[in-house]
Amino acid sequence: MDVRLAPAGPELRERLLALAPRPEQERFAGRLAETLPAAEADPDREPVAILERGEPVGFFVLHRGPGAGVLAPETRDVLLRAFLIDARAQGRGIATRALAVLPGFVAETLPGAHRIVLSVNVRNPVAIRTYARAGFADTGRLYHGGAAGPQHVFELWL
């Protein structure tokens, strides 16, 4: 199936706002009604749509700059935030395919980036396995700044 990434522009906004992970996943991924407007308002954040056959089925934010904080402290780091797949689209390998094309998308969208960093909650084993299969490596560090508890810090060098 065709999965691609695209900037989350105004033409996709309403369809993106209709997406939601499973209720038990929301504490990890956040709510699009909050994360999309925050990304749109911050020039250091790039909201990204995950499209399957041209239709939005997922979302994430690429965050670069000082606001990315302790997880992505270097100027060439990119923080992957708020990654989610709509509950109705889960189980079809969309996350795996989106993460497979992510390095190329980052290289094209954010030239000069050298590393993608993310945090994943220690109580989210499905996401941990998905990121590991996509080539992200656990740094061995834990991030304790998340509202849902400790998170593993993963990285992927470009």
Q: In angstroms, rounded to a whole number, what is the distance separating the alpha carbons of residues 100 and 106?
A: 11
Q: Domain containing 101: what range? A: 3-157
List the structure tokens of 45: 């954040």
CATH of the domain at 84: 3.40.630.30
The 3-state DSSP class for residue 26 equals helix
- Look at the chain and report how many structural domains it folds into: 1
pLDDT in tens, the chain (158 residues): 699 999 999 999 999 999 999 888 887 788 889 999 999 999 999 999 999 999 999 999 999 988 788 888 889 999 999 999 999 999 999 999 999 999 999 999 999 999 999 999 999 998 999 999 999 999 999 998 877 789 999 999 99
Q: What is the 3-state secondary structure (H, E, C) of 109-131?
A: HCCCCCEEEEEEECCCHHHHHHH
Q: In angstroms, rounded to a whole number, what is the distance separating the alpha carbons of residues 78 and 96?
A: 19
Q: What is the pTM of this model?
A: 0.93
